[in-house]
Amino acid sequence: MKTNRLKAKSRRILAALLILSALVTSSCWDRREIEELGIVIGMSVDHARQKQQTSEEEKQFVHRHKKLLPISITYQIVNPKIIGGSTRGNPTNQKPYINITSSGDTAFQIVRETSTRIGRPPFFMHLKIIILGEEVSRKVDLTQLLNFNLRDTEMRRTVYLTIADGKGKEVLETSPKNEDLPSFELLSLINNLAKTIHIAQPISIGTVSEHLSADTSFCVPRVVIHQKEMKLAGAAIVSGKTGKMLGWIGEEETAGINLIQGTGKSEEGHKGGIIEAVIKGSSEPFSFEIGKIHSKIIPSVKNGQLSFKVSIKMEGRLGEDWYLNEDAFKEDYLQKVNAAVKKRIEEIVTNTLKKTQKEYRVDVAGFGKQLHIHNPKEWKKRKENWDEEFSRIPVSLDVTVKTEEFALKGKKR
């Protein structure tokens, strides 16, 4: 009798567990078919020119919100029926995406406005990149511009950010060469840091938020339109205090930031970029391909005076040499190569510091971070107005270069 009661009780418990598991594991109750989604892959934010107000209601709105800068957002939405197809499979040559632009005073307002114009409202779970126009980046705090993106639960903080030299919308309207969508083309360029030191480090909106919260300045990759093609060239300098873009640095100065930070390290089968130089007494150039970069920013406080030393140790190979009278197997020639690369690195880094430290008066290479790590007490005294403090602090360089290989000419023994 007791055994029967135990069996009945066990059956009831098992039934309850089965019902509970069914409730917990059912994950398709709110599913949405991919054809029903307006999947946004990329978006741009630009300054929108104000239209002429005609109604009294519009005039009153402008009066109440006269400090607002109207913005224009373009969403690049995937066409799932076309993407990945060929011309044969797409006889109408329809693009695998559509760009839709709406204007308003806030990003949230614009999203809702866009939903009244397309059958598939914007879906941001797969958003990969945001492109800010130059004008809006100079006039509006990025904390405000990205507020919606950081709050919305559909968006990830890993979304990359770039700033366009001109309008961000124009980048989304270029014709991609290797990818289906302009947004994918831009992502491919961003990921080319393993091949060159002349493009800025990719930066996510999550990292941007961290910089702005800490009032630290930073770089954002610049994208330009060159002969109807997009190109990454240099970077935008953003002030941590104001959250606004201060100006541009060029490709060489961007390389200087990368050298200071030690970025561009080689991956398996990839190199970190090229240093072009000329040996003293020669007019023929050579290319030094970077294999490894080991950089350190070393703070020092003596008699109350703060200074920094940037130590850069580089190894690489002689990738191309136009001076045919020299022998790459000779040690004295390699010493000349090393000296020329060392001099070139010093020139690049010095010019970069002149631009960022003296002209823009900001720290975008992480000097303050290293001071915080190595000397917290000194950092605490200076952190409130760090960018201004940094503009007056001396920085010295210690560069070491070593040539390890000569490409197919042979290997050093």
Q: Measured between alpha carbons, how far is 120 from 296 in angstroms, rounded to an integer?
A: 50
- Give residue-wise pLDDT tens across range 121-175: 788 888 999 999 999 999 999 999 998 888 887 788 999 999 999 999 999 999 8
Q: Measured between alpha carbons, how far is 307 from 321 in angstroms, rounded to an integer?
A: 38
Q: Is the predicted pLDDT of residue 78 greater than 80, yes or no? A: yes
- Give residue-wise pLDDT tens across range 251-298: 999 999 999 998 644 444 334 689 999 998 888 899 999 988 999 999
Q: What is the pTM (predicted TM-score) of this model?
A: 0.82
* Number of neighbouring beta carbons within 10 Å of residue 89: 9
Please, which residues bridge with residue 289 across strands? 274, 317
- Over residues 80-91, the mean pLDDT reads 54
* Per-residue tokens: 183: 């947004």
Q: Measured between alpha carbons, how far is 160 from 125 in angstroms, rounded to an integer?
A: 14
Q: Measured between alpha carbons, how far is 283 from 286 in angstroms, rounded to an integer?
A: 10
Q: Regarding predicted confidence, which is higher, 123 or 348?
A: 348
Please, which residues bridge with residue 247 across strands? 237
**pLDDT band with cut points at 50, 70 and 90 for residue 3:** low
Residue 3 phi, psi dihedral angles, 5° rounding: -65, -40
* Per-residue tokens: 187: 């992502």
Domains, the chain, in order of start with CATH, read 35-50+66-249 (no CATH), 259-409 (3.30.300.210)
User: What confidence score (pLDDT) does residue 354 get?
Assistant: 97
Cβ-contact 96, 180 below 8 angstroms: yes
* Per-residue tokens: 217: 């300045």
Q: Torsion angle, CA of 210/212/217/221, rounded to 10 degrees?
A: 70
* pLDDT mean across residues, the chain: 83
User: What confidence score (pLDDT) does residue 347 get?
Assistant: 97
HEC secondary structure over the chain: CHHHHHHHHHHHHHHHHHHHHHHHHCCCCCCCCHHHCEEEEEEEEEECCCCCCCCHHHHHHHHHCCCCCCEEEEEEEECCCCCCCCCCCCCCCCCCEEEEEEEECCHHHHHHHHHCCCCCCEECCCCCEEEECHHHHHHCCHHHHCHHHHHCCCCCCCCEEEEECCCHHHHHCCCCCCCCCHHHHHHHHHHHHHCCCCECCCCEHHHHHHHHHCCCCEEEEEEEEECCEEEEEEEEEECCCCCCEEEEECHHHHHHHHHHHCCCCCCCCCCCCEEEEECCCCCCEEEEEEEEEEEEEEEEEECCEEEEEEEEEEEEEEEEECCCCCCCCCHHHHHHHHHHHHHHHHHHHHHHHHHHHHHHCCCCCCHHHHHHHHCHHHHHHHHHHHHHHHCCCCEEEEEEEEEEECHHHCECC
Q: For the chain, how many residues are written?
A: 413
User: What confidence score (pLDDT) does residue 83 get?
Assistant: 59
Cβ-contact 398, 407 below 8 angstroms: no
Q: Measured between alpha carbons, how far is 311 from 396 in angstroms, rounded to an integer?
A: 9
* Per-residue tokens: 285: 């150039």
* Per-residue tokens: 37: 């989604």
